[in-house]
Amino acid sequence: MKTPRTFLSLAATIITSGLVLSACATADNTDNSAQRPTSTVTSTSPQPAETTENKTTTKTNDAQDTSRTTAARGQESAQPTGAQMLGTPSMEDRQDLPDGLGDLSPTDVRIGTHQGFDRVVFEFAGVGKPGWFTHYTDTPAQPGSGFPVEYQGNTALNIAIEGTPAPIDPQKQAQWIDLNASFPGAGSVAEVKLAGAFEAQSKFIIGLDKPRPYSVTRLENPTRVVVDIQK
């Protein structure tokens, strides 16, 4: 016959065994949880393609007049890939006189060289549209006085820009580039020089290594006259 002490001993043994089994189960669950591999999901959104919007007064895209904001005066900054010559180049004299010539001030001249052509950009502030006359000569002269103009290069492409009266009031004087200013060239362009202003016309001389076919294009926002010279 079993005594009460024997029952107590059996009960203690059963309880102790249960606690041990419970602890083992908990440890197994913890180990399994720690060893379970985790998954990571990475979401990548596609980046929009870069686009460039260019505006001109012609039917030709102007991806070519380069970044005005970063270019130093007299120089164009790095040219975007795929630059193309504007207009149709030829050796002929050019003339363009829009209705209602403007009241404009030349504020900057930039020269750059690109694959297949060199470019000269004249930029203006003011109102209206600029016009122009162009021709080749070896002996350029100042407007009004007719005095000869010295320049770098073997021949000169004269471009007389209409609608650009000489600065009289202080505001326009501050906008204008320096009279008789000279800008270093690039490529076939040896130099660009302002020969003077007379009767609402400013005359620039583009010194070249030799006569080359060229085109002249008017652009807006801001107002520019672009001369592209074929290599």
Q: Looking at the domain assignment, is residue 124 inside a domain? A: yes
Q: Looking at the domain assignment, is residue 87 inside a domain? A: no
For 115-119, the CB contacts below 8 A with 24+ separation are 115/83, 116/85, 116/230, 116/231, 117/85, 117/89, 117/228, 117/229, 117/230, 117/231, 118/186, 118/187, 118/188, 118/189, 118/228, 118/229, 118/231, 119/64, 119/65, 119/76, 119/226, 119/227, 119/228, 119/229
User: What is the pLDDT, as a whole number, of residue 2?
Assistant: 45
Check residues 198 and 50 and name the one with the higher pLDDT: 198
Tally Cβ neighbours within 10 Å of residue 112. Answer: 22
Distance CA 40, CA 42 (A): 7
Asked if residue 11 has pLDDT above 70, the reply is no
Check residues 59 and 177 and name the one with the higher pLDDT: 177
Q: Looking at the domain assignment, is residue 84 inside a domain? A: no
User: What is the pLDDT, as a whole number, of residue 169?
Assistant: 86
Check residues 53 and 14 and name the one with the higher pLDDT: 14
User: What is the pLDDT, as a whole number, of residue 82?
Assistant: 65
Q: Looking at the domain assignment, is residue 165 inside a domain? A: yes
Check residues 97 and 179 and name the one with the higher pLDDT: 97
**Cα dist from 150 to 82, 127, 210, whole Å:** 36, 32, 16
User: What is the pLDDT, as a whole number, of residue 180?
Assistant: 82
By the 8 A CB rule, do 62 and 223 touch?
no
User: What is the pLDDT, as a whole number, of residue 37?
Assistant: 42
Instruction: Give the pLDDT confidence of 112-150 residue by residue, as tens digits.
Output: 999 999 999 999 999 999 999 999 999 999 988 899 999
Asked if residue 12 has pLDDT above 60, the reply is no
Tokens of 132: 């122009």
Average pLDDT, the chain: 76
* CATH for 117: 2.60.40.3500
Distance CA 18, CA 26 (A): 12
What is the domain count for the chain?
1
Q: Looking at the domain assignment, is residue 4 inside a domain? A: no
Q: Looking at the domain assignment, is residue 197 inside a domain? A: yes
User: What is the pLDDT, as a whole number, of residue 65?
Assistant: 52
Instruction: Give the pLDDT confidence of 46-105 residue by residue, as tens digits.
Output: 333 322 223 334 433 344 454 333 344 555 544 445 689 999 999 999 999 998 878 999
Domain that holds residue 151: 94-230
Which burial class, exposed, middle or buried, applies to 181 when counting CB atoms under 10 A from its CB (0-12, 13-18, 19+)?
Answer: middle
Short-list 164, 149, 159, 147, CA closest to 199: 164
**Cα dist from 144 to 139, 148, 197, whole Å:** 15, 11, 8
Tokens of 53: 């919007």
User: What is the pLDDT, as a whole number, of residue 100?
Assistant: 82
User: What is the pLDDT, as a whole number, of residue 99?
Assistant: 87
Q: Looking at the domain assignment, is residue 14 inside a domain? A: no
Q: Looking at the domain assignment, is residue 141 inside a domain? A: yes
User: What is the pLDDT, as a whole number, of residue 32?
Assistant: 43
Average pLDDT over residues 189-216: 96
pTM for this predicted structure: 0.68
DSSP-assigned letter for residue 148 = B
User: What is the pLDDT, as a whole number, of residue 127?
Assistant: 95
Tokens of 172: 């326009």
